Each structure stands twice: as C-alpha cells, then as structure tokens.
Amino acid sequence: MHSVAKGPGTAIRISAARRRLKARRARGLTLLEMVLSLTIVALIVALVSSGFTLAGTAIGGGERAAEQNQRLRLATDIMMRQIKSTVVYRAEEDDFEYPFFQGTRYDLAFVTSAAQSGGGGLALVTYRVQGTPPQLVMAEAAAVNPGILGHPERLAELPSQEAVLLSGFSDLHFEYLVSDGIESEWFEAWDGKEEEELPTAVRVVIDGLAGLGGSLWTHQIPIMVAAFSETQPEVGFGDDDDDDDDDGGDDDDDEGSSGGTPSGDDDDS
C-alpha cells in the first residue's frame, strides 16, 4: 500500500479548493441556469392558466346552453298551446268570407283561443323572425273583427303586446302541412283566402342554436280546429239574422199547425 504524504503543501491545496467551492456557492446561479428556471416557471404558469381558462369557458358555455334550452322549451310550449288552439275565425273582404290564417316562411298570423295575456281567450297572434342577429318575436292583439282581418294592411293598427320568444339561432322558419289522410305535403306559405281552410299542422325549423349544439331542430304542431258558434259576436261563419229568421219561421209553422188542429176537430164534430 502506498501512503499519501501529508504536509504543509497538501493542507494548502485543500484549503484553496474549499475556498473556491465556497466562492462558487456565494456566486449563485449562472445566467443560463436562471433563464432555464424562468422558462420552466413560465411554462407551468401558462399550463395552469390555460386550464383555468378552458374550465371557465366550458362552464360559461354550459350555462349559456342551459339558458337557451330553457328559452327553447318555453317558446315551444307557448307556440304549441297557441297553434293547437287555432280557431276558425272568419275574415271578410268584399262580401267574401274565409278562415283567417296567414303564413310565410318567416311570419305567421292566426286567431287562437289560448292568448297569453288577459288570462286567455281569443287573440290575434303573430310570430315573426326579425332583426340581426335574428329573433323570434310574438305579438298579441285582443281586439279583432272580421273586417280588420280581411284587410291585412290594417292589422298593424291594432294595439298589441310584443315579446321576444327566442334568440341565439342562425335561422328559424315555418312550414305548413296539407294532408287528406292519404297524401301529405309541406309548403313554405299558407293563405287562408286562397286555400279556404286551415293547414293540418305547422312545423317550426330552427338551425344554429347553441343550446342544441348547432344542429337542426324541428317540431311539428298539429292544429286542433275549434269552430265557435254564432252566439259569440264576430266569431265563426254564417249570419245571425238568418238563423233568427229560420227559428222564427219554424215557430210560426208550429203555431199554425197547432192552431189548425182544433178547427179540424170542430169540423169533424
């Protein structure tokens, strides 16, 4: 075995090495080490921040989607109740009577027995898509009569209440079904004056609604026709005076026949 000689020179070298090590510790990190450390910290902060941002976006998007779904359910419920309750309400134009129902791709007007305002009852209802971005607006007018319905240009004069039913979609339009029980066909417009009847159903088509994931949504609403009697003013078809005259004629006939029977009996006797 070889032994290491220890002497004054060896102690001096060890002391010098220790001094250099202590000096390096006192000097701290180099510039390169500092840059690498800051880069790593920045990456960690960026990852954490992006995670929070994505989480916040997802939560906000979910809340907006839930709100739009709720608005869609509310709008659908109102439209279903009112369109199903469409009544055969006559419109008069130049002595010509026809069931009032006017529908285009972006507008729909009819008389319903399920008004939203005033606790229900009859009302002229109008749905229309308007504005940019588009909105579905509903308007109700309680004061209607056949003369006004027969002149569409006068409908705007009626006092009405308006409300936005739905927004946030890229397109919303209506379609109208005619069916004879065997064949059926959908149309983009309906004019009660030309058709002289109501459509079988109305279809609502919505596209681009965020709450639906941007997919196409359709809903078909049948029309349950309710014919109102002539005991209610300005409702239904026909003429009150004619009905009264017919009733009066029947009464006269009954009285004449009942009055003739005793005289016939007297002759026999």
Q: Omega into 233 within 30° of 0, i.e. cis?
A: no
Q: Which residue has the higher pLDDT, 229 or 43?
A: 43
**What single DSSP character describes residue 5?**
P
The reply to whether the predicted model has a pTM over 0.75 is: no
Q: Rg for the chain (alpha carbons), in Å?
A: 41
- Sheet of strand 171-179, all strands in order from the earlier edge strand to the far edge: 184-187, 171-179, 201-207, 217-222
Q: Which residue has the higher pLDDT, 201 or 36?
A: 201
Q: Which residues contact 79 (CB under 8 A, 6 or more apart)?
A: 127, 165, 204, 221
pLDDT range class, residue 161, cuts 50, 70, 90 = confident
pLDDT of 146 reads: 81
Amino acid identity, residue 152?
Answer: P
Q: How far apart are CA 47 and CA 231, in angstroms?
A: 75
pLDDT of 243 reads: 45
pLDDT, average across residues 194-207 = 93
Q: If you average pLDDT over each of 47-56, 212-221, 225-234, which comes out highest?
A: 212-221
pLDDT of 231 reads: 35
Q: Which residue has the higher pLDDT, 78 or 68?
A: 78
pLDDT in tens, 72-130: 999 999 999 999 999 999 888 888 899 999 999 999 999 999 998 777 788 999 999 99
Q: Which residue has the higher pLDDT, 33 or 108?
A: 108
pLDDT, average across residues 125-141 = 93
Q: Residues of the chain with pLDDT > 90: what percent?
A: 35
pLDDT of 76 reads: 93
pLDDT, average across residues 173-200 = 92
Which one, of 79, 63, 75, 74, lies nearest residue 211 by Cα?
A: 63
pLDDT of 11 reads: 55
